[in-house]
Chains A and B, each alone.
Chain A
Amino acid sequence: GAGVSQSPSNKVTEKGKDVELRCDPISGHTALYWYRQSLGQGLEFLIYFQGNSAPDKSGLPSDRFSAERTGGSVSTLTIQRTQQEDSAVYLCASTGGGMNTEAFFGQGTRLTVV
């Protein structure tokens, strides 16, 4: 596709359920990033991938959060046993991987845990 695609755009889930968020980066982009943004807050770094490997997972808030990337393309962010504090917009971005390259964002997945 022409841009970064995320699905679903909105997700309402019950506390305790697992959710899976998907990101389809721009074709050929080697680096992929996941961020979380709570209402009125800045972007909180979660994890990034270079190819299929994740050099930095330091931003994942707890072991309930995991992410994977396959084929150097699509990535999924999984949140197990969701809590109300997980409610936020989850943004994915991709870049060509070099320095000084623009990060293109998807429109995000708005997650609401009730």
Chain B
Amino acid sequence: KAGVTQTPRYLIKTRGQQVTLSCSPISGHRSVSWYQQTPGQGLQFLFEYFSETQRNKGNFPGRFSGRQFSNSRSEMNVSTLELGDSALYLCASSLGQGANGNTIYFGEGSWLTVV
């Protein structure tokens, strides 16, 4: 069974540009969440989607957005990139709505460098 797949794995963007990252969850999983990991702030929750609806959102500016498609695949977008957006962006998927009792599976992440 394939795991959580994220594309692209590595990318370099220039300040002011925008970027779209893609995530394919494990087959059958309907919940997809996104996290940002930086050396200074650690792992921080961005948002979670379930059945195409955003259910939870972390404390990030509006430049960070996401969506989920009917096949549960998800994308996140960061507009007007800043140097501080350089990070590892992780996608995670889970079977159901509540993680209590569920297992959350992470992808290997997309490494974004903003120059």
Is B one of A's binding partners? no
Interface residues of B (CB under 8 A from A): none
